[in-house]
Structure formats: C-alpha cells, structure tokens
Structure 1
C-alpha cells in the first residue's frame, strides 16, 4: 500500500475505535491562551491525539487543533499563534463552547493480568 492509503486506513481505523476510548484519549495543554512555541507538536502529541490544520487567509495565519473528548469533536482556534476560542460539534451542529475538562488517561497497573491470558507471569 502507498503511504497515503496507509494514512487513510489508519485514520478510518482510529475513527472506528474512537467511541470506545474517547473519554481517555486526549490530554489538552493546561492553558490554551499561552500556546507553546510549536503548536503542531503539542496538538499532535501522542498524549493529546489531535490534528492541526493551518492556512493563511488575508494575511492571517489560522490554525485549528481538532481533537475528541467523550465522543465529541472539539476545535481550538488560533490566529497568528494566539488562542481565539473553542467550538464543539454535537448533535449535527458546531457551536462555541468552553474547553472541555480532559479526563485522565486510564493506566493499567504493571502486575494486572486478565483472567485466562496466557502471557508471561
């Protein structure tokens, strides 16, 4: 498969399993009004799991970090690197909102074993 096909397949797979892990899949930066030097690295980090889209319109660089929390798509908008606001896609429409509270990631203790699992002891 080509790289583009693999990326599309990975995106489709991620969307398919997203409802199962959405509540623990994202970690937002603590203060969106003070983005770090590399907004893309923060948004697309494994802890956050977002996708950053950037374009320039009428001389203004606009970046949108798209991510999922508890089954809803959120969009943090930045203009020229400054946080503008957050929107959520819910019930078929996008509307302004406050940033969501990001749930803690679920971690499995290292000594936890599933019943019937034949892995190493």
Structure 2
C-alpha cells in the first residue's frame, strides 16, 4: 500500500486513477428443469486499452472495448458445450483504470480494465 501511495505522490498530477464498474446480465432463459452449469473467466487481459482526449471514463468507450472479447469468449463456451442451452450470460468489471496526462499541451487519457468477469450459464 505504501508503494502505491508513493507512486501516486511521485507521479503528481500526470497520473489520476478513477474507479468505475460496468455490469450486464441477460434475461434468464432458464426452462426451470435440469441442472445448470455456470462458467466464468476474467477477460481483462484480453481487452485492449483505449485512448481518448478526455472521455476515457466513458461507459460507452469501455463497453465498446469489452464487446469483442466477451463475444469471442461466449462463442467459445457455446462451442465447448454442444447440446446445452445458454440460459443466461453477462459480465461485471471490478473497475476501470484511467490515466490522464498532457501530451504537447493537449490533455489525453488512456484506460483499461483491471478485472472483467464474464459468465455463461447453461441448462
């Protein structure tokens, strides 16, 4: 903890971290019978970080960045579970990191996910 506080203090105004969470859960399409299996994975490392002029903390940009990784993971899970029905899926991000800095006098930012848990339930 001390090392993190020291890093923030040394970085000064160029480094600002903002916590934010995103979550989504599809409607439950469970048939009510049978056993359900829940699979989940942390996809944060599969999502590219994004850059913008001032809106890196935008939920719209974050969702745009996560959609390809979640879709690919979900497709892989569906292929790995033939004959099973996808009853529900979703995701929850732990938080989104954002770095604000000046580049040639212009404010810029870069952001990414620290954690992004995707899940799929099959029945």
Which of the two has greater helix per residue?
Answer: 2
Name the TM-score class by shorter chain.
Answer: under 0.3
Determine which structure has more spread, i.e. the larger CA radius of gyration: 2
> Which has the higher relative contact order, 1 or 2, with Cα contacts under 8 A spaced 6 or more apart?
2
| TM, length-normalised to structure 1 | 0.23
| TM, length-normalised to structure 2 | 0.23
